Copies of this chain bind each other. A is one copy, B any other.
Protein backbone atom coordinates (compact mmCIF):
# COMPACT_ATOMS: atom_id res chain seq x y z
CA UNK A 1 0.00 0.00 0.00
CA UNK A 2 1.26 3.45 -0.84
CA UNK A 3 1.52 5.99 1.91
CA UNK A 4 -1.95 7.31 1.23
CA UNK A 5 -3.28 7.06 4.76
CA UNK A 6 -2.24 10.67 5.15
CA UNK A 7 -3.82 13.48 3.19
CA UNK A 8 -5.93 11.34 0.90
CA UNK A 9 -7.27 14.49 -0.73
CA UNK A 10 -7.38 18.20 0.16
CA UNK A 11 -11.15 18.65 0.72
CA UNK A 12 -13.14 20.87 -1.54
CA UNK A 13 -13.60 24.53 -0.69
CA UNK A 14 -17.34 24.37 -0.08
CA UNK A 15 -16.90 21.25 2.00
CA UNK A 16 -14.38 22.93 4.23
CA UNK A 17 -16.61 25.98 4.58
CA UNK A 18 -19.53 23.86 5.69
CA UNK A 19 -17.38 21.81 8.00
CA UNK A 20 -16.15 24.87 9.81
CA UNK A 21 -19.54 26.46 9.99
CA UNK A 22 -20.98 23.28 11.44
CA UNK A 23 -18.36 23.06 14.15
CA UNK A 24 -18.88 26.71 15.03
CA UNK A 25 -22.64 26.41 15.23
CA UNK A 26 -22.41 23.12 17.09
CA UNK A 27 -20.13 24.64 19.71
CA UNK A 28 -22.64 27.38 20.30
CA UNK A 29 -25.55 25.01 20.39
CA UNK A 30 -23.93 22.45 22.67
CA UNK A 31 -22.95 25.16 25.09
CA UNK A 32 -26.46 26.53 25.10
CA UNK A 33 -28.46 23.31 25.13
CA UNK A 34 -26.11 20.67 26.41
CA UNK A 35 -24.89 17.60 24.57
CA UNK A 36 -28.40 16.57 23.54
CA UNK A 37 -28.92 19.55 21.27
CA UNK A 38 -30.78 18.60 18.10
CA UNK A 39 -28.43 17.81 15.24
CA UNK A 40 -30.93 18.62 12.53
CA UNK A 41 -31.34 21.96 14.21
CA UNK A 42 -27.60 22.56 14.17
CA UNK A 43 -27.58 21.71 10.49
CA UNK A 44 -30.39 24.16 9.83
CA UNK A 45 -28.66 26.96 11.71
CA UNK A 46 -25.50 26.27 9.80
CA UNK A 47 -27.49 26.61 6.60
CA UNK A 48 -26.93 23.06 5.41
CA UNK A 49 -29.10 19.98 5.09
CA UNK A 50 -29.02 17.16 7.59
CA UNK A 51 -27.38 14.99 4.98
CA UNK A 52 -24.39 17.30 4.89
CA UNK A 53 -24.01 17.24 8.62
CA UNK A 54 -24.16 13.47 8.74
CA UNK A 55 -21.63 13.09 5.98
CA UNK A 56 -19.10 15.15 7.85
CA UNK A 57 -19.98 13.68 11.23
CA UNK A 58 -21.49 10.19 11.08
CA UNK A 59 -22.96 10.58 14.55
CA UNK A 60 -23.34 12.95 17.47
CA UNK A 61 -20.17 11.64 19.06
CA UNK A 62 -18.11 12.66 16.06
CA UNK A 63 -19.45 16.18 16.10
CA UNK A 64 -18.92 16.45 19.82
CA UNK A 65 -15.36 15.35 19.27
CA UNK A 66 -14.68 17.97 16.67
CA UNK A 67 -16.04 20.63 18.97
CA UNK A 68 -13.94 19.41 21.84
CA UNK A 69 -10.73 19.29 19.87
CA UNK A 70 -10.78 23.04 19.37
CA UNK A 71 -11.63 23.59 22.96
CA UNK A 72 -8.99 21.24 24.32
CA UNK A 73 -6.22 23.17 22.65
CA UNK A 74 -7.19 26.36 24.38
CA UNK A 75 -7.45 24.56 27.70
CA UNK A 76 -4.04 22.99 27.28
CA UNK A 77 -2.56 26.33 26.35
CA UNK A 78 -3.84 27.57 29.67
CA UNK A 79 -1.46 25.16 31.35
CA UNK A 80 1.70 26.52 29.85
CA UNK A 81 2.62 28.80 32.77
CA UNK A 82 1.96 25.99 35.21
CA UNK A 83 4.56 23.81 33.55
CA UNK A 84 7.32 26.07 34.76
CA UNK A 85 5.83 27.06 38.09
CA UNK A 86 8.00 27.04 41.16
CA UNK A 87 5.97 24.55 43.12
CA UNK A 88 5.04 21.68 40.80
CA UNK A 89 2.65 20.12 43.26
CA UNK A 90 0.69 23.30 43.71
CA UNK A 91 0.75 23.68 39.95
CA UNK A 92 -0.75 20.23 39.52
CA UNK A 93 -3.41 21.07 42.04
CA UNK A 94 -4.22 24.28 40.24
CA UNK A 95 -4.37 22.50 36.90
CA UNK A 96 -6.82 19.92 38.12
CA UNK A 97 -9.06 22.64 39.48
CA UNK A 98 -8.97 24.47 36.19
CA UNK A 99 -9.70 21.25 34.40
CA UNK A 100 -12.85 20.81 36.41
CA UNK A 101 -13.91 24.36 35.66
CA UNK A 102 -13.21 24.11 31.97
CA UNK A 103 -14.86 20.78 31.52
CA UNK A 104 -17.74 21.92 33.68
CA UNK A 105 -18.25 24.95 31.50
CA UNK A 106 -18.93 22.52 28.71
CA UNK A 107 -21.81 21.20 30.76
CA UNK A 108 -20.11 17.88 31.26
CA UNK A 109 -19.96 17.57 27.52
CA UNK A 110 -16.35 16.64 27.57
CA UNK A 111 -15.98 14.90 30.88
CA UNK A 112 -15.91 11.51 29.24
CA UNK A 113 -12.91 12.64 27.32
CA UNK A 114 -10.75 12.95 30.38
CA UNK A 115 -10.99 9.23 30.78
CA UNK A 116 -9.62 8.05 27.52
CA UNK A 117 -5.89 8.25 27.31
CA UNK A 118 -6.20 7.13 23.74
CA UNK A 119 -3.90 8.62 21.17
CA UNK A 120 -6.60 8.36 18.57
CA UNK A 121 -8.74 10.65 20.61
CA UNK A 122 -7.11 14.01 20.00
CA UNK A 123 -8.91 15.88 22.72
CA UNK A 124 -8.27 13.33 25.36
CA UNK A 125 -4.71 13.00 24.29
CA UNK A 126 -3.94 16.69 24.54
CA UNK A 127 -5.40 16.87 28.02
CA UNK A 128 -3.83 13.66 29.19
CA UNK A 129 -0.48 14.63 27.83
CA UNK A 130 -0.52 17.99 29.55
CA UNK A 131 -1.57 16.40 32.79
CA UNK A 132 1.15 13.83 32.53
CA UNK A 133 3.81 16.47 32.32
CA UNK A 134 2.53 18.16 35.42
CA UNK A 135 2.27 14.88 37.26
CA UNK A 136 5.80 13.93 36.35
CA UNK A 137 7.14 17.24 37.50
CA UNK A 138 5.36 16.90 40.81
CA UNK A 139 6.69 13.39 41.26
CA UNK A 140 10.21 14.45 40.38
CA UNK A 141 10.01 17.18 42.99
CA UNK A 142 8.94 14.61 45.54
CA UNK A 143 5.62 16.33 45.97
CA UNK A 144 3.33 13.41 45.27
CA UNK A 145 3.35 9.65 45.59
CA UNK A 146 5.11 7.77 42.83
CA UNK A 147 2.54 5.01 42.72
CA UNK A 148 -0.26 7.26 41.56
CA UNK A 149 -0.77 7.38 37.83
CA UNK A 150 -1.92 10.21 35.66
CA UNK A 151 -4.88 8.13 34.56
CA UNK A 152 -5.96 7.68 38.13
CA UNK A 153 -5.82 11.39 38.74
CA UNK A 154 -7.77 12.00 35.57
CA UNK A 155 -10.39 9.53 36.63
CA UNK A 156 -10.79 11.17 39.98
CA UNK A 157 -10.87 14.59 38.39
CA UNK A 158 -13.46 13.58 35.87
CA UNK A 159 -15.46 12.28 38.78
CA UNK A 160 -15.30 15.63 40.50
CA UNK A 161 -16.42 17.27 37.31
CA UNK A 162 -19.33 14.94 37.08
CA UNK A 163 -20.32 15.38 40.70
CA UNK A 164 -20.11 19.17 40.55
CA UNK A 165 -21.92 19.30 37.24
CA UNK A 166 -24.73 17.08 38.39
CA UNK A 167 -25.11 18.92 41.66
CA UNK A 168 -25.38 22.19 39.84
CA UNK A 169 -27.93 20.77 37.43
CA UNK A 170 -30.04 19.62 40.36
CA UNK A 171 -29.50 22.92 42.13
CA UNK A 172 -28.06 21.08 45.07
CA UNK A 173 -25.34 22.83 46.97
CA UNK A 174 -22.09 20.98 46.64
CA UNK A 175 -18.58 21.46 47.82
CA UNK A 176 -16.43 23.49 45.50
CA UNK A 177 -14.15 21.87 42.96
CA UNK A 178 -11.23 23.40 44.86
CA UNK A 179 -12.25 21.59 47.99
CA UNK A 180 -12.79 18.22 46.35
CA UNK A 181 -9.62 18.39 44.31
CA UNK A 182 -7.92 19.42 47.53
CA UNK A 183 -9.10 16.27 49.23
CA UNK A 184 -7.83 14.18 46.38
CA UNK A 185 -4.50 15.92 46.46
CA UNK A 186 -4.33 15.28 50.19
CA UNK A 187 -4.45 11.59 49.44
CA UNK A 188 -1.74 11.85 46.86
CA UNK A 189 0.67 14.30 48.45
CA UNK A 190 3.79 13.05 50.15
CA UNK A 191 4.18 14.17 53.71
Which residues does A use to contact B, with CB under 8 Å?
111-112, 115-118, 148-149, 151-152, 155-156, 158-164, 166-167, 170, 172, 174-175, 179-180, 183-188, 191
Instruction: With A112-B170, A183-B184, A184-B184 as known contacts, state yes or no: A175 contacts B163, CB within 8 Å.
Output: no
Q: What is the bound-complex CA distance between A179 and B66, given in angstroms?
A: 33
Residues of B near A184 (CB, < 8 A) are 156, 183-184, 187
Question: Which residues of chain B are near A148, meaning CB under 8 Å?
Answer: 183
A179 CB to nearest chain B CB (Å): 7
Bound together, the chains give a CA A167 to CA B118 distance in angstroms of 12
Give the complex CA separation of A162 and B111 in angstroms.
Answer: 10
